[in-house]
Amino acid sequence: MTARRFDAMVIGGGLVGSAIAWGLRREGLSVALLDEGDAAYRASRGNFGLVWVQSKGLGAPWYQRWTRQSAESWAELANDLAKQTGQSLGLSQPGGLHLCLSDREMNERAERLEQMKREAGNYGFEYRMLDAREAREMLPGLGPAVVGASFTPYDGHVSPLALLRSLHHSFTALGGVYLPNVKITGIATAPRNFLLDTNLGTIQAERAVLAAGLGNATLASHFGLKAPVRPQRGQVLVTERTRAALPMPTTTIRQTGEGSIMLGDSVEEVGFDTRQTQPVMAEIAHRAALCFPWIGKLNVVRAWSALRVMSPDGLPIYDQSETLPGAYTANCHSGVTLAAAHGKLLAPMIARGALDPFLTPFSAERF
């Protein structure tokens, strides 16, 4: 059987892979996007949906800047996609708050953001620490337990499911080839020549981008790459829909365009266990009700857990293979926030044939 040939194959049809495949297609490359199917862990179906800047990149200004660049490109990404699909992503970037429930949390937060501003250098980093009264003016309904908050103007949120669907839709409309339910049965590699045997036939491409989330950990070595990612569980609760009540998101609470309140941001190291647990759900609900007492009176209608794709230091990994030029890997736990960077900045680099030097600190060689 003859191979189907492409300029690039992207392995992984979640948010990271879809954004890169979309960007490569926009650069004029022929692209195959290979998606495993629902046997995969599907982090992109469990996302919280923040486009978030203010907590990211402490001690790693290159990550702070990458995140900011993505947030600043997000409106353009949303416009590009909406023009093609006719579907709104519900993007809103009014800035965001991180709520503090004790003086200690407030002090730690102030130190963290002061350090981030220092590290941003002449790139700049706008933020404000708000006392309880100021925070209440920005977010009516805050409870007495909230002692203050930090604010940055860069933050926002979006519907992650609409994003995923729009990327797939737009990629296909641009002429990209989306291949779902792919099982890879064989991998043959040479510089700028990658051959995959799959249940859908043989696929050949000059470039291979590994964006398979947790699957990258085992895929990478076949391409002369390393992707030391591990699962980190997060749990999410969703309430019934209400009238518009939250004009901006917080780190752990946001109201969707349709009116649901999402509560989340738990962190657990439990391997590939995707179950939900009562103590964590109770803690998420308890903290949300401390922040906004009225949330405690709402019904929770859905809840789920998902596995973040986490590197040893929590930062993304972007790499290009030394031994097999043409092979790249992209790994991160912020597929929503970084979607604009992946589609509009990273993909053009891969199309040109090399990652820009400012991405070098993201190489897996740092581990």
SS3 call for 355: coil
Q: Which residue's CB is nearer to another protein, number 99 or number 142?
A: 142
CB of 297 to another protein, least distance (A): 4
In the region spanning residues 105 to 164, those forming contacts with another protein, defined by CB under 8 A, are 141
SS3 call for 253: strand
CB of 167 to another protein, least distance (A): 22
Q: Tell me the window of 7-15, 30-38, 296-304, 359-367 that interacts with another protein (CB under 8 A).
A: 296-304
Q: Which residue's CB is nearer to another protein, number 133 or number 186?
A: 133
- How many residues of this chain bind another protein (CB under 8 A)? 13
Q: Which residue's CB is nearer to another protein, number 94 or number 259?
A: 259
CB of 139 to another protein, least distance (A): 12
Q: Which residue's CB is nearer to another protein, number 29 or number 142?
A: 142
Identify the burial level of 134 via C-beta atoms within 10 angstroms of its C-beta, where 0-12 means exposed, 13-18 middle and 19 or more buried: middle
d(C-alpha 209, C-alpha 19), whole Å:
12
Which residue matches tokens 């022929």? 30
CB of 166 to another protein, least distance (A): 18
User: Binding residue for another protein (CB under 8 A) from 298, 309, 332, 351?
Assistant: 298
CB of 169 to another protein, least distance (A): 20
Binding mask 234-263 for another protein (x = CB under 8 A): ------xxxx-x------------xx----
CB of 305 to another protein, least distance (A): 21
Q: Tell me the window of 81-89, 121-129, 263-271, 294-302 that interacts with another protein (CB under 8 A).
A: 294-302
CB of 240 to another protein, least distance (A): 5
Strand partners of residue 149? 99, 130
Q: Which residue's CB is nearer to another protein, number 298 or number 340?
A: 298
Contacts (Cβ under 8 Å, ≥6 apart) of 17: 10, 11, 33, 35, 209, 211, 212, 330
Q: Please state the φ and ψ torsions of residue 226, each to the nearest 5 degrees.
A: -125, 140
Q: Tell me the window of 41-49, 170-178, 293-301, 321-329 that interacts with another protein (CB under 8 A).
A: 293-301
User: Binding residue for another protein (CB under 8 A) from 39, 122, 299, 357?
Assistant: 299
Residue type, 215: G
Q: Which residue's CB is nearer to another protein, number 124 or number 258?
A: 258
User: Binding residue for another protein (CB under 8 A) from 175, 301, 353, 365?
Assistant: 301
- Single out the residue of 91, 81, 87 nearest to residue 50, CA to CA: 91
Q: Which residue's CB is nearer to another protein, number 294 or number 367?
A: 294
Residue 226 to residues 130, 215, 280: CA-CA distances in angstroms? 42, 12, 32
d(C-alpha 320, C-alpha 10), whole Å:
14
Which residue matches tokens 């990273």? 346
d(C-alpha 344, C-alpha 349), whole Å:
9
- Single out the residue of 339, 348, 321 nearest to residue 220, CA to CA: 321
Q: Which residue's CB is nearer to another protein, number 248 or number 315?
A: 248
d(C-alpha 150, C-alpha 106), whole Å:
8
d(C-alpha 354, C-alpha 245), whole Å:
46
Contacts (Cβ under 8 Å, ≥6 apart) of 183: 36, 198, 199
In the region spanning residues 43 to 62, those forming contacts with another protein, defined by CB under 8 A, are none
Binding-site ranges for another protein (CB under 8 A): 141, 240-243, 245, 258-259, 294, 297-299, 301
